[in-house]
A = this chain, B = another copy of it.
Amino acid sequence: MKYIVILLLAAFVSNAQIRKEQLDLMPWPQNINLTSGTFMLTKQFKVNITGNSDARLFIGTTNFLRRLDSRTGLFLGQEYVTKINEFPEAELLINCGRKGKVGLNEDESYQLSIVSGKITLNATNDLGALHGLETLLQLMQNNGTSFYFPAVEITDSPRFTWRGLMIDAARHFQPVDVIKRNLNAMASMKMNVFHWHLVDDQGWRIEIKKHPKLTQLASDGDYYTQEEIKNIVKYADERGIMVVPEIDIPGHASALLSVYPEIGSKQSVGMPYTVGRRSGIYDSALDPTNPKTYQLLGEIFDEVCPLFTSKYFHIGGDENNGKEWNANPAIEEFKKGNKITSNHDLQTYFNMKLIPMLKKHDKRLMGWEEIMTKDMSKDAIIHAWRGGNEGVTPGGALITAAKNGYNTILSNGYYIDLMLSVDGHYLNDPLPKNIALSPEEKARILGGEAAMWSELVTPLNIDSRIWPRTAAIAERLWSNDTITDLNSMHRRLKVISSRLEEVGVMHIRNKEVILRNITNHQDTRALNDFTNICEPLKNYKRNGGGKKYFMYSPLTLFADACTADASDAYDFNKAVNQYLENKSPENQIVVTSFFRKWIAMNNDLIALSANAPLIQPVLLMSNNLSMISKQLLLAIEEKQNIDKKALNELLEQLTIRNSADVELAVYASLKRLL
């Protein structure tokens, strides 16, 4: 008979009073006051909007109704919301005073009140109202037969005004549907800035009508048309999200220079630029001494700026290694003639030329922290990103920028492509309590941004790299700085992960696609079990200096099915901690059940591998783990003496890099058991 593990992702609840800590809210609201009673959801449920509202709230409310309906199967009768005051007797009343302005420092607060039979959502403007609707969806409970909301009073507003996600659509192109489902997910986590990294060494992704060659020659056919960009900006605006485009210059310019080598800094014209096919930092840089450089950039900005409604334009500015500038005598000459003593200052010279080009379109320049030099305009926004990997104090540029009078945002600590645990991202506060800044300086720290670089992500695996972990970053940027309990965060993140499917995120379903490919469409359960204790190599170790994968290589392997924060590893590590504290039979059985699972898993993987070449690379690890598990079972259950040295050797073998490109996330706990 089949044995079912019933995963009570949402804890069973009767209509009895729920406790605050049982709510699955993320980001956690500023004030929650649970009162008594419940609001029962029925087929008759309707919404009425009053105040000054327009399309954004109508669309948002319609989407809210559809999501409520798809989750409950109630076939609600209210169709498309298109006007105010349509159903004055409705059970959900939304009132907001005016249309919000998507951008920084707008009031995003809301007040939500639920009592039996009536829900009231008030907000200064529609942006706050949209946030309130997301909270309402997260509040929904159910028993075995009905859906309902607990009676509650919530007042809420964000801590930071910049709560962003950056997606690199240049290295691996991300089609419109990928962007849209991520915008949906961002809105559900109350994030409000989508930073769109649109060009890099590996591709030029924006249609430029005056320069069609840019996409003809440097996009491999993968780019956004201007219409698509405008459409996405509108789609984001409907969800309260500002879109900040990035054109990364003067470095990261191989794609641009492959089309217009004449504005590159290479000394010899006999060495053409080509579109990058691998990861890593390229030397290619625009020539800041060439007037043609600025003419072309001006023409590009003239087309790109009007596509976006945001006041901010990101010009990149990172990782220009200066090699081409140093090697070019004419550029060296120019520096001398203009009393420019460093490449950094030369880059500032370049950046300052961009400011008026952007100002013409009412845009403010922002850039990665390297743009911050003594002559840089105070009007620029500094995007802090570097840390230990780059040999500097993590996020140090954020503090320096705030002290030097710049508005600034933090991405160091939010690099989700590093595949590190969500715990670190969650506890990474742009404004820690003990920070030595004046109130004015603190006010310049606008918030932060998760950064999804795309060397190793395709439309198939990108969702599982961004979600659900970015929800924890969203909470850091929205909620009170006292909300730091990791256990609570992990518990809620599990539920949020499920809920993200509702808005179209594909992290769960696409993992199954990868597993089916690896198993050659055999049963995926054993392989799935293994993904739950393995994590992709961290800190850019997977792609060995950018040499292993090409940008056009599909990513459909075991490491692509694995994620950071492997779920069983999290549970096993907890179980080992408890067992080592107290070797009770109950604690022992939790630990040993994992060993049994892994022994069975290994047997299954061996059986499956007879018809699935892609399983071969993981067999070495699963075999070792199975042998270790057997020995530990003997030691723990039978109190047998085992050969600890041999076992340690087996365990250490698990740390040797192998072709599966993952690390065993239970390694440390196993080591502690030995």
Contact = CB atoms under 8 A, between A and B. Distances in A.
- Per assembly, the copies of the chain total 2
Q: Which of A225, A550, A611 has the most CB of B within 10 A?
A: A611
Q: Which of A1, A2, A512, A614 has the most CB of B within 10 A?
A: A2
Interface in A585-603: 596-597, 599-601
A65 to B, nearest CB: 9
B144 A616 contact: yes
Nearest to A555: B70
B611 A12 contact: yes
A608 interface: yes
B611 A525 contact: no
Interface string A54-88: 00000100000010011111011101100000000
A10 interface: yes
A610 B146 CA distance: 10
Q: Chain A interface: which size bin? A: 35 or more
A552 B62 CA distance: 10
Nearest to A556: B70
Interface string A538-582: 000000000011101110110000000000000000000000000
A1 B517 CA distance: 25
B611 A142 contact: yes
A68 to B, nearest CB: 9
Contact of A2 (B9, B75, B231, B604): B604
A8 interface: yes
Contacts of A553: 69, 75-76
A162 B260 CA distance: 46
A416 to B, nearest CB: 23
B144 A1 contact: no
A274 to B, nearest CB: 11
Nearest to A11: B611
Given A6-B607, A69-B554, A220 B142 contact: no
A66 B221 CA distance: 15
A4 interface: yes
A177 B177 CA distance: 7
Contacts of A554: 66, 69-70
Interface in A353-381: none
A199 B556 CA distance: 38
B513 A550 contact: no
A516 interface: yes
Given A73-B614, A176-B176, A79 B550 contact: yes
Q: Which of A143, A495, A552 has the most CB of B within 10 A?
A: A552
24 contacts: A1-B599, A1-B600, A2-B600, A2-B604, A4-B525, A6-B608, A8-B611, A9-B520, A12-B610, A66-B552, A69-B553, A70-B554, A71-B517, A72-B613, A75-B548, A75-B550, A76-B553, A80-B552, A143-B613, A144-B610, A175-B177, A225-B231, A495-B521, A506-B509
